Amino acid sequence: MSLNERQITDREIKALQIAAKQKLTRKGNVWFVPSQAGQGEYEVRPDPQAPRCTCPDYEYRNARCKHIVAVEYVLMREQKSDGTTVVTETVKVTRKTYTQDWKAYNHAQTHEKSELQALLFELCKNLPEPMKPQGKGRPSLSLPDMIFASVTKIYSTISGRRYQTDLREAKERGYLAHLPHYNSVFKYLESESLTPYLYELISLSAAPLKAIESDFAVDSSGFSTGQFVRWLDVKNSTKEERRHWLKLHLMVGTKTNVVTSVEVSDGFSHDYHHFKPLVDHTAKQGFQMKEISADKGYLGADNMMTALRHGAVPYIPFKTNSVAQSGWEPKSQLWTRMYHFYSLNRAEFLQHYHKRSNVETTFHMIKAKFGQRLRSRTLTAQINEALCKVLCHNLCVVLQSVHELGIEAHFGVA
């Protein structure tokens, strides 16, 4: 291969990248192609006989540059199989709206508190009672009472003292065997033994929606605490105090926004490593997955293979420096196939990928309703508080689905 041929091949590869990843606009016979170096746009006139471009490469060589070739690729994509050309017109895009069953929605919202307590009671009543050490002192509450009191306390978003009224009403309805003191509720939230049960209850609370959810999305978001940490700004050599925060990693169904799996980490944990456990746990719960969408922070061949092993197509966008791989192992082949699909079928890819916005909606639902700040003082209590927020969200989603979709809320036995 000659040097000239090698240069042409490289130019065509760069042109393909421009056509796949850049937004090319058209006014009449003139195309505007963004510079890969970020230096504005170049005007391209793709005349078959004498194409022209305003870039320095064309002016120096007076030959087809990568911008001209990129426009030619775009024109090739717009041609039909019979050789005719598709004429692209600018149209006004209107927001897609969805119908709302307002009668069912209003009933679910106006009866949510009482029905949520009933659902939580059914969810907790079959929990196994752990062995308690023998000793003196006041006997502790049963595990169902501990969890019921802790979760409904977070749902109420009010102080422990004012929450005592809700606990007395729950005791009258038969949801509590014994009425706990507000200090006892705080103490239970600080118990490490409560954490695994909350994880399990979150999974069980999503079970009624197995027949509905098949497309899922993964993302994370931070929840601030009342604690402050010293933060060193290296650039300005200044120290300041910033709130400490925890990260919540969720996998949610894109139709109902139910959380199928969750992990809590410190605020500096990288998102990438939480993808596999979230997907594996959702599959273990019996959900049939067809699609999983996530942002570029989760991009990697291992995560793609994790989704594919469970029968789901991974819709994770590629970065600007991503390239196709030439290996023959399954991970390389999957990476390359998804890379070409992302590069050459961008519109279709984005139709699936944009379902990821539902996980951001889920975080907004949790934070707007139950608060974006963790009020507990200790780390264990903060983790349990975050998990209680997720469990409350799931119960609200199930209640809404009962009224709007007609599902039956059967949780099974923990």
pLDDT at 339 over 90: yes
Structure tokens at 219: 């993302």
Which residues contact residue 277 at a Cβ distance below 8 angstroms, ignoring those fewer than 6 apart?
261, 263
Beta strand ranges found along 18-88 (DSSP E)? 25-27, 30-34, 41-45, 52-53
Helix (H, G, I), strand (E, B) or coil at 243: strand
pLDDT value, residue 113: 92
Under the banding of pLDDT at 50, 70 and 90, the label for residue 328 is confident
Contact 363, 84 (CB under 8 A): no
Mean predicted confidence (pLDDT) in 193-205: 94
pLDDT at 303 over 70: yes
pLDDT at 28 over 90: no
Output the CATH code of domain 210-376: 3.30.420
β-pairing verdict for 291-293 and 30-34: unpaired
pLDDT value, residue 79: 64
Q: Which of the 8 DSSP states describes residue 178?
A: S
The segment(s) of the chain belonging to CATH 3.30.420 are 210-376
Question: How far is 87 from 286, CA to CA, in rounded Å?
Answer: 47
pLDDT at 87 over 60: no
Mean predicted confidence (pLDDT) in 364-392: 94
Q: 246 — phi, psi (to 5°)?
A: -115, 155
pLDDT at 20 over 90: no
The structure's pTM equals 0.74
163 vs 82, higher pLDDT: 163
Name, of 3-12, 36-45, 63-72, 275-284, the range with top average pLDDT. Answer: 275-284
pLDDT value, residue 29: 85
180 vs 12, higher pLDDT: 180
pLDDT value, residue 93: 42
pLDDT value, residue 90: 42
pLDDT value, residue 96: 58
pLDDT value, residue 244: 80
Quick one: which H or E segment has residue 273? none
- The region, left, alpha or beta by phi > 0 then psi within -120 to 50, assigned to residue 385 is alpha
How far is the CA of 376 from the CAs of 112, 187, 366, 401, 411, in angstroms? 25, 11, 17, 31, 29
Structure tokens at 53: 């471009």
Number of other CB atoms surrounding residue 1 within 10 Å: 7
Question: How far is 137 from 305, CA to CA, in rounded Å?
Answer: 54
Mean predicted confidence (pLDDT) in 343-356: 92
238 vs 407, higher pLDDT: 407
pLDDT at 403 over 80: yes
Under the banding of pLDDT at 50, 70 and 90, the label for residue 338 is very high
pLDDT at 92 over 70: no
Question: How far is 18 from 67, CA to CA, in rounded Å?
Answer: 8
Mean predicted confidence (pLDDT) in 90-110: 70
pLDDT at 369 over 50: yes
Structure tokens at 180: 């706990």
Q: Which of 273, 232, 268, 275 is nearest to 251 (CA)?
A: 275
Number of other CB atoms surrounding residue 352 within 10 Å: 16
Residue ranges of the alpha helices (H) in 78-142? 102-110, 112-124
pLDDT at 89 over 60: no
Question: How far is 124 from 147, CA to CA, in rounded Å?
Answer: 7
Mean predicted confidence (pLDDT) in 394-403: 94
Quick one: which H or E segment has residue 338? helix 330-344
pLDDT value, residue 304: 96
